[in-house]
Amino acid sequence: MKITEVKKKNGSTVYRANIYLGIDQITGKKIKTSITGRTKKEVSRKVKHAQQDFANTGATRFTIQTDIKTINDLAEAWLENYQNTVKPQTLRGTKILIKNHILPTLGQMPLDRFSTPVAQKFINDLARCFNQFDKVRSVLSRMFQYAVVLQTIQHNPVRDTMLPRKNKPRTKKVKYIQPEDLKKFLAYVDGVGQKDFARFNYTVAFKLLLATGMRIGELSALEWSDINLKDNTIKINKTYLQEIKAVGETKTKAGERIISVDKATALMLKQYKNRQRLKFLEIGARAPVRVFQTPTRQYLLRNNFQQVLDLDCKNAGIPRFTFHAFRHTHASLLLNAGISYKELQHRLGHSNISMTLDTYSHLSKDKEKEAVIYFEKAINNL
């Protein structure tokens, strides 16, 4: 150990030694420090104390942050940084998982009491009532890994837990509109759509959902610049996020797509565009940018949209269905008309074809029956 003499600015003399304490058992880094004293003897004494303190504290310079004491505190700190790394819709989903499944049970628990056995019990209990418990575990693990980075805790207790076996969920039957109900519904909305612009606005929205399979957020964010009425195509590249009242990117990268529409739908859009512009001119306003903008609202709102749809179903004398049923019905009609699953995947904006197959493969009843005809032809040609 080398002790050097140091002259300070005020003219006084001190002695200093740069020493190596060892390897930090938590971070794995080499720990060095500087010891200063008024005499060489004092420096030697302080060096021994520093080495002893380092050994007594587990050979670490690990420090505890006192501002994050509970899991609720940790969640707030983690979300503050996490929100800068993901899309708004991803952030919204993560916040829902934390609010509904982590904080009610663990929110007030001090970090130093949350051990691996506690984490394992929490995950096991959650797995019995929530099929997406693996997503909750992933979020919880990332939160505690962030606490490790902040040196609030020494290790991540969630990382050592085991995932319970996931029960295979029963395949939910996709709800789509029965053909006879669809005919009644379209006849009714066509009739009421002639009464005024507000009703026509909803009629066009219903029929465009059916003709394209768009999601409601994509429909709400649609602008006239996205529609090419010469080529009869629609560009889908954004979605309206009602919870944060902002337009964001599509659900996935595959959600950005250009799809074609039939001639009847294109003609309906042309007629609607003219009526919409006239309505805005009547009040001295500029032509609207968004397709389903009205003088009283900027975007279609899901709750209002569903309320109008519910009333129309009732008046048309058919069972209630949600606006997402238009998307499923669109897929069903195309499958039974002979479209390939790869084409349907693109049209719906699915990120992978397995999602399309898992969701819609059982809808093509008519095409499934054709398999017998193909088999008979093949066997007869042997």
Q: Is 298 strand, coil or helix?
A: coil
Collect all residues with Cβ–Cβ distance below 8 Å to 144 and sequence separation of at least 6.
74, 114, 153, 156, 157, 158, 159
Least confident of 51-65, 70-84, 104-118: 51-65
> What CATH code is assigned to 179-366?
1.10.443.10
Residue 217: Cβ within 10 Å count: 22
> If you average pLDDT over every residue of the chain, what do you get?
87
* 233-236 and 227-228 beta bridge pairing: antiparallel
How confident is the model at residue 34, as a pLDDT?
Answer: 85
Q: Residue 11 has which token pair? A: 């003219």
For 116-172, the pLDDT digits (tens) are 999 999 999 999 999 899 999 999 999 999 998 888 888 999 999 999 988 766 655
What's the pLDDT at 58?
Answer: 66
pLDDT of residue 259: 92
Residue 187 pLDDT > 80, yes or no? yes
Q: Where are the domains of the chain?
A: 3-56, 71-149, 179-366
What's the sign of the alpha-carbon dihedral 76, 82, 88, 93? Answer: negative
Whether residue 365 is predicted with pLDDT greater than 80 in this model: the reply is no
Residue 48's pLDDT band (cuts 50, 70, 90)? confident
Least confident of 95-99, 165-169, 175-179, 245-249: 165-169
**What's the pTM?**
0.65
pLDDT of residue 310: 95
What is each CA distance from 282 to 276, 279, 298, in whole angstroms? 10, 5, 17
Instruction: Name the band, by pLDDT with cuts 50, 70 and 90, for residue 92.
Output: confident
pLDDT at 381 over 80: no
Model confidence pLDDT, tens digit, residues 296-344:
899 998 899 999 999 999 999 999 999 999 999 998 888 888 888 888 8
Q: What are the pLDDT digits (tens) for 198-208? A: 899 999 999 99
Instruction: Tell me the per-residue pLDDT of 227-268, one tens digit each, with 9 for 90 and over.
Output: 999 999 999 999 998 877 888 888 778 889 999 999 999 999
Paired residues of 17 in beta bridges: 3, 35
What mean pLDDT is predicted for residues 74-78?
Answer: 94
Does pLDDT of 86 surpass 70? yes
- Is pLDDT at 280 greater than 90 in this prediction? yes
Inter-residue contact 291 to 222 (CB < 8 Å): yes
Percent of the chain residues topping a pLDDT of 90: 52
Has residue 374 got a pLDDT over 70?
A: no
* Whole-number pLDDT of residue 361: 67
Which tokens sit at 104?
């009610």
* Burial (CB count within 10 angstroms: exposed 0-12, middle 13-18, buried 19+), residue 221: buried
Separation CA 10–CA 257 (nearest Å): 72
Q: Report residue 358 as tokens.
A: 């898992």
Evaluate whether the domain defined by 71-149 bears CATH number 1.10.150.130. Answer: yes
What is the structure's pLDDT at 6? 86
